[in-house]
Amino acid sequence: MSLPRTPSFRLDGKRALVVGASSGIGEGCAVALAEAGAHVTLAARREDPLNALARTMRAAGFDADTLLLDVADIADTDAKVSAHGPFDVLVNSAGLARHGPALNTTPEDYDAVTDLNVKGAYFLTRAVARGLAEAQKPGSLINISSQMAHVGGIDRAVYCATKHAVEGFTKSMAIEWGKKGIRVNTICPTFIRTPLTEQTFSNPERVAWIEEKIKLGRIGEVTDIMGAVAYLASDASALVTGTSLLIDGGWTAD
């Protein structure tokens, strides 16, 4: 009798591009992929944090380099992804939020959030997929979305709109590129404790609301995302595409 074997979670020999890698979730994703054996290109707009992270990762024995990248600049992103690719794995953690009541939304805020969260994410994903298609290689493309892609949220109309849009183009791209072996998925976290979210967590009323909504009763940590990104990047998820992995502690279970 032959027993089935678990597909490998290893990423040895793979090249991964992690955008928004300079802090928070992006940093955690970069480390997770490197731990699994990938060569990781750390990309973001801020040079100093990228270089510091790359040095720390290399000192820990990981394989990492850096790339200055602003995904809102479509032409520059296309050129740099083409020049440095093809990448077997994409993790896009770049994002922007300008929360406030919908009645107070300005066109400037709307454009800033959608330009990065939707337009930037769309064309970044396309750029990496194009490189894979031209090289006739399979790959795994992952956009960090949000639980707010599946529900509404207080003062988050624009943000929710952008994340719902990411879920839509993820499904369409997965259908279009499936025959090429290119998988496209999202990870949808709940509130995760990072430097960018500390302002939210400094408000006791908002923390109480968050903890009441998260059925597991605790705020998320960056480490809660790391296993998920390693799974989606690897052959362990070889039949997973066009979907979202919710890491929300049960928020959306209602």
Fill in the amino acid letter for 111: D
DSSP letter string, 150-196? TS--TT-HHHHHHHHHHHHHHHHHHHHHGGGTEEEEEEEE--B--GG
Please, are residues 78 and 123 in contact by the beta-carbon 8 Å criterion? Answer: yes
Whole-model pTM: value is 0.94
Edge-to-edge strand list for the sheet holding 139-144: 64-68, 39-44, 15-19, 89-92, 139-144, 182-189, 244-247
Of 70, 159, 172, the residue nearest 117 (C-alpha): 159
Fill in the amino acid letter for 29: C
Which pLDDT value is given to residue 66? 97
Which pLDDT value is given to residue 200? 76
Fold type of domain 15-247? Rossmann fold (3.40.50)
Please, are residues 188 and 253 in contact by the beta-carbon 8 Å criterion? Answer: no
Q: Is the pLDDT of residue 91 over 80?
A: yes
Of 96, 71, 210, 196, the residue nearest 154 (C-alpha): 210
- Give the catalytic positions in this structure: 159
Q: Tell me the C-alpha distance between 248 and 72, whole Å.
A: 27
Please, are residues 89 and 143 in contact by the beta-carbon 8 Å criterion? Answer: no
The helix/strand/coil state of 23 is: coil
Distance between start and end Cα atoms, the chain: 44
Per-residue pLDDT tens over the stretch 13-61: 999 999 999 999 999 999 999 999 999 999 999 999 999 999 999 999 9
- 157-185 per-residue burial string, b: 16 or more CB within 10 A, e: under 16: bbbbbbbbbbbebbbebbeebeeeebbbb
Question: What is residue 251's DSSP assignment?
Answer: G
The domain locations on the chain are: 15-247
Joined tokens for residue 91: 């993790």
Per-residue pLDDT tens over the stretch 209-233: 888 899 998 889 999 999 999 999 9
